[in-house]
């Protein structure tokens, strides 16, 4: 791994092993980060964070890299297991005191997220996702009701 910057010394062994394997897999593709970003749904800067242990990659990013690297299904499944172990052990961001500089995240920390290894802790909290889905469903229902009423009025006028 000649061109890679050293990983932090305090990384848990599962995370270190996973990131090292991820780097080897990326090197196996022969692609630059720009080219890897172009072939996946993840940007160059995202891949940079994933490959330097700054942030755990989403499961889909790992699956995309496995596919691009041409891993057989059994090896890709093993890689997914490594990902699950790494995500469980991944260091959470430090708690920021209320009113402190939290990078615009409203003081949220990793501990506030559901303890599910398949849900990334860096994404929106589950309760905010549920609230957004509820609003979307409500608006969809209202629009469908209005559309149904409109079709009924047009049908009544057209067919008397």
Whether the model clears a pTM of 0.85, i.e. scores above it, the answer is no
pLDDT band at 128 (very low <50, low <70, confident <90, very high): low
pLDDT for residue 134: 73
pLDDT above 90: percentage of residues in the chain:
56
pLDDT for residue 113: 37
Contact 79, 59 (CB under 8 A): no
Task: Read off the pLDDT of residues 118-127 as tens digits, 9 standing for 90 and up.
Answer: 445 444 454 5
pLDDT greater than 90 at residue 24: yes
Contacts of 60 (CB under 8 A, 6+ apart): 41
pLDDT band at 29 (very low <50, low <70, confident <90, very high): very high
**Residues 87-126, buried b or exposed e (16+ Cβ, 10 A)?**
bebbeeeeeeeeeeebeeeeebeeeebeeebeebbeeeee
Task: Read off the pLDDT of residues 89-115 as tens digits, 9 standing for 90 and up.
Answer: 998 776 544 444 444 444 444 443 344
């Amino acid at each position: 791994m000649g061109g890679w910057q050293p990983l932090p010394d305090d990384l848990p062994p599962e995370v270190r092993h996973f990131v090292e394997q991820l780097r080897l897999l990326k090197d196996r593709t022969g692609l630059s980060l720009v080219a890897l970003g172009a072939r996946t749904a993840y940007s160059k800067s995202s891949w940079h964070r994933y490959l330097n242990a700054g942030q755990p990659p989403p499961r889909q990013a790992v699956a995309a890299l496995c596919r691009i690297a041409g891993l057989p299904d059994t090896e890709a499944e093993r890689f997914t297991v490594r990902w699950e172990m790494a995500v469980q052990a991944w260091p959470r961001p430090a708690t920021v005191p209320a009113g402190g500089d939290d990078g615009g995240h409203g003081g949220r920390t990793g501990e506030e997220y559901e303890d599910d290894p398949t849900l990334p802790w860096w994404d929106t909290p589950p309760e905010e996702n549920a609230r957004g889905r509820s609003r979307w469903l409500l608006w969809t229902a209202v629009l469908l009701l209005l559309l149904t009423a409109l079709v009924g009025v047009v049908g009544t006028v057209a067919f008397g």
